[in-house]
Amino acid sequence: MDEKKLDDLEGHEDDTRNGGHHTHNEHKEEHHRRKKGQKPTIDDLKKEIHMDEHLIPLEELLARLGTDAASGLSSEEAMRRLQRDGRNAITPPPQTPEIIKFAKNMLGGFSMLLWMGAILCFVAYGVQEASSRGGPLDNLFLGIVLVLVVFITGCFTYSQESKSARIMKSFLKLVPQRTYVMRNGKSKETRVERLVVGDIVDVKFGDRLPADIRIIKCSGFKVDNSSITGESEPQSRSPDSCHENPLESKNLAFYSTNAVEGTCIGVVIKTGDRTVMGRIAQLTGSIQEEKTTLAIEIDHFIMLISIFAVFIGIVFFVVAFVLGYSWLNAFIFLIGIIVANVPEGLLPTVTVPGGWGGGRVGVCLTLTAQRMKAKNCLVRKLEAVETLGSTSVICSDKTGTLTENRMTVAHLWYEGTVHEANRDEDLSDPLRSRRPSSKSWDALARVMGLCNRAVFKENQEHIRIMDRLCNGDASESAILKCFELEVSSVSAFRVKYPKIFEVPFNSTNKYQLSIHQQPDEEGYLLVIKGAPERILDLSTSYLNKNGEEVPVNTEFIKHFNETYAQLGNLGERVLGFAHHVLDPERFPKGCEFDPSVIQRYLKELCFVGLIALIDPPRAAVPQAVAKCRSAGIKVIMVTGDHPLTAKAIGRKVGIISPGVRTVDEIPGADPFTPLSDPSDRPKGIVIHGAELAEMSDQKVDFILANYPEIIFARTSPTQKLRIVEGCQRAGLVVAVTGDGVNDAPALRKANIGIAMGITGSEVSKQAASMILLDDNFASIVTAVEEGRLVFDNLKKTIAYALTANIPELIPFLFYIIMNIPLPLGAIAIIIICVGTDIVPAISLAYEKAECDIMARPPRDQHKDRLASHTLIYQSYAQIGMLESAAGFLTYFVVMGENGFSPVKANSYGQDWGYAERKQLEYMCYTAWFVSIVVAQWADLMICRTRRNSFFEAGMSNPYFFFALLSETALAIFLAYFPGLSHIILFSGLRFEWLFVPFSFSLIIFVYDHFRKLFIRRYPGCWVERETLY
């Protein structure tokens, strides 16, 4: 009956899903919000988590929650709380209707400009039809082509689902399905969403935590908190509170994290959206994605083109009206001029963000994405490719991105000396990696191999030892590999020392021990490892340089502390090792061991050494960080790990430069003290999450502005988001890396979020714009170079495409002003924009980077625009005018050679009939069209580079030659293929007429070659300022 009542409630809980216990004020606020149907605001979600459930005594907490640790809640009370608080589930965001998503793709951004052009074409055709019978069909054809271009491109790039919905589905995958709960004094299995605050739950290794719980009792319980806090090591749990920060406290376990070891019984303190995971999910869904820099540039480009087109159209509408044209003809001219300024061919070649947040994938960025995938960068949101090229700061996670995400033995301390661990393996001669034998080393190695629960997975003998997969936690796996590499086969070694008894590690004892039978000696061997200070406390002797046991003395303790501190300052995790041979009379062969009895003999241990482990930096990262510096990109480490570990890795990879002192290393230094000379301020700073939580936004901004080398350690999800927002307030373009659920809000807020492909959670991948397939920071730098290259190549594509607008526009203007026959028809314009120019424009996407691409600083978003005044000036006023001159000269030559003067009705006394005039008109259309094609050859050549010579680019782009051939072949086909003349209104030309545009093509090429030479010879000169785009 109770289960049925609980099931019946599930249909009535959509508006009441926030579960969890509150303080008195929080409860009132939550009740007030729930009453009004309100949800927590984004500012509420950004606040640090404040709670006291982990601080107060357990008895007080159980009384507050109205529950009993032995019997749990009654079914009636559970049902009442479920009705009050709602299901233990994360609330999904509102879904965007598919028709709206489709409309965003069809009507947004650049598409809108083409839609306006198409509408104007249809209007012009309708006006002509209404005013005269059998008007020309040019405008109708042009309008249809524009509609087809937009529709086909929009359908091709129709997005699958809104990103927020995908992210929420990823969160829901993390939710466990069933759990064991104590109800009415009996343990029963139930669905997780039926849990309520005060329930007593039973969790074992392999389970996902069903809610935020406080530990009542546990046995060897460890959880993987990496999705919440970013900590790479499994964290042990215990009933005792150890920290005011709930994320740091060991007596709490969080919703959807994994139990990796042991068992526990806990009381539910928060459910649903009020859990830590629920807050992250809500925060991620509430954050509005930043508009990509390319979207901003495309909007700017559309504005420039639209203003120019409308301005020129209105000017010549007035001019035509003044020259005596009717208002109807003047209006037709206005429409023709505006449409001639629309670069129809750019839509399929350039990524065009939608006006309401939608996005459109262009060919150029698709090609770039394919190249990036080959370099281990999978782009999910193609508009963000260019954003990466504009990046001025990278906020990078540590574990797995800067480091290998593989714990490794770095140093060993025995015989009073620190030894570097061997990580180089010679597969042809495994004995070369073995460490020379000594009594002290043999004793340490013996404990390494025996006091270790990790084992290699099967069938990996052919794989390098350091690359083998293990069953066991990260630290023990690292020690296992070190033994296998430097000693011998661990499996064969363990056979010689059978394990008789074991005490697993727990947070109270801070050690792990095992007892083994010795092969050749009497007495069992006890081996132990754990926290160094704990192992030293249990030791009465140590092994000296000769391998002899000598009593622990003051000198040894001093040396131990110095070594421990030295290794700790390197950011390494240090473990102590000891052994003891048990008395064979007290523990004869075959006896049973009692943990309480064994503990009495733990005061007689012999300390054998220390082992220091670290997650080492990736080999390519230091060079990548240095490359970022030379490119003007600031690299900030943001990690959940300990500050000492973070700083040690930061120094190794170059985030903290060699010789740079951080603020914490200078006694009495205040990071916020104003200095008369800013150069006196330390360059580096390490900020703990607890310190960051107390800082105002102004102080965060001060840190980001005044310290070039920054590490944030022990950060929470909201703090990482604050760091991103601080960088954006400073006007920086921010790239953020992350792999855990805790990184999702920052990934979504950043200008470009970068998730990890190997270790990354599904949530982080869905929140990000790009995924690193190899989890390597060095791949980001490669992607930055590709991002800069794509911006350069988009500029080249736009410069190439815009140039043809002028020779398409000028004929209309001369037709209006000088009343000459129209040199270029609308169909020819269509063929140029969506025919001959498409392949050459795409070929520019394959251009290689120029030499200065990673030597220059990130582009200034306010000055270095996609469609800058220099690009417009270069395309329109220089190259475009030269192409127009080529067209006019060819036009007049064709006219003259056919005995016709364009400015006279009858030339040279000839009698011209209508058919002859139309044939000559089609020939002039062809002549102008071919002139543009030939001149565009040179334009394509000069657009390949912005600063370098064409000859420096050389043969690096094979698609360039294909583009030239395809453009030429299409022009020849259209001009000379029989039967097309009546369809496209073209007519064949005599070969000698082509020498006219050839000469102009050569002039364009030579002029631009010397322009670039001048720019290279005289950097910063007037020519560079006015013509370098």
Neighbours of 254 (CB within 10 A): 20
The residues that bridge with 771 in the sheet, in sequence order, are: 378, 755
CA atoms in the 13 A half-sphere facing the CB of 859: 26
User: Euclidean distance between the first and final Cα of the chain, in Å?
Assistant: 75
Question: How far apart, in whole angstroms, are the C-alpha atoms of residue 470 and residue 545?
Answer: 33
Question: How far apart, in whole angstroms, are the C-alpha atoms of residue 932 and residue 922?
Answer: 15
Residues that are catalytic:
397
Question: How far apart, in whole angstroms, are the C-alpha atoms of residue 476 and residue 45?
Answer: 38
Q: Which residue has the tokens 């469609």?
A: 867
Q: In this structure, are residues 82 and 8 in contact, taking their beta carbons and an 8 Å threshold? A: no
Q: In this structure, are residues 622 and 658 in contact, taking their beta carbons and an 8 Å threshold? A: no
Q: Which residues contact 247 (CB under 8 A, 6 or more apart)?
A: 49, 228, 229, 276, 716
- At residue 831's C-alpha, the angle toward residues 829 and 832, to 5°, is 65
* Token pair belonging to 574: 């240090």
Q: Widest CA span of the chain, in angstroms?
A: 135
Neighbours of 167 (CB within 10 A): 25
Radius of gyration of the chain (CA): 37
Strands 200-204 and 252-253: unpaired
Question: How far apart, in whole angstroms, are the C-alpha atoms of residue 403 and residue 408?
Answer: 11
DSSP 507: T
Sign of CA dihedral 264, 269, 271, 276: negative
Q: Which residue has the tokens 């040279």?
A: 908
Question: How far apart, in whole angstroms, are the C-alpha atoms of residue 804 and residue 833?
Answer: 8
Residue 582's H or E segment, with its range, is: none
Residue 962, class by beta-carbon neighbours within 10 Å (0-12 exposed, 13-18 middle, 19+ buried)?
Answer: middle
Q: In this structure, are residues 120 and 147 in contact, taking their beta carbons and an 8 Å threshold? A: no
Q: Which residues contact 857 (CB under 8 A, 6 or more apart)?
A: 631, 632
Question: How far apart, in whole angstroms, are the C-alpha atoms of residue 735 and residue 397?
Answer: 11
> What residue ranges in 644-758 does DSSP mark as E strands?
684-688, 709-713, 734-738, 752-756
List alpha helices for 358-454, DSSP H: 363-374, 384-390, 439-450
3-state secondary structure of 548: coil
> What residue ranges in 479-552 does DSSP mark as E strands?
499-503, 511-516, 525-530, 539-543, 549-551
| Three-class secondary structure assignment of 391-410 | CCEEEECCCCCCECCCCEEE
Q: Which residues contact 659 (CB under 8 A, 6 or more apart)?
A: none
Neighbours of 956 (CB within 10 A): 12
Give the neighbor-by-neighbor strand order of the sheet with 734-738: 377-379, 770-772, 752-756, 734-738, 393-396, 634-638, 709-713, 684-688
Residue 767, class by beta-carbon neighbours within 10 Å (0-12 exposed, 13-18 middle, 19+ buried)?
Answer: buried
Q: In this structure, are residues 385 and 787 in contact, taking their beta carbons and an 8 Å threshold? A: yes
The number of angstroms, rounded, from the C-alpha of 833 to the middle of its chain's C-alpha atoms is 35
The number of angstroms, rounded, from the C-alpha of 109 to the middle of its chain's C-alpha atoms is 24
Q: Which residue has the tokens 């001669």?
A: 429
Which amino acid type is present at position 452?
A: N
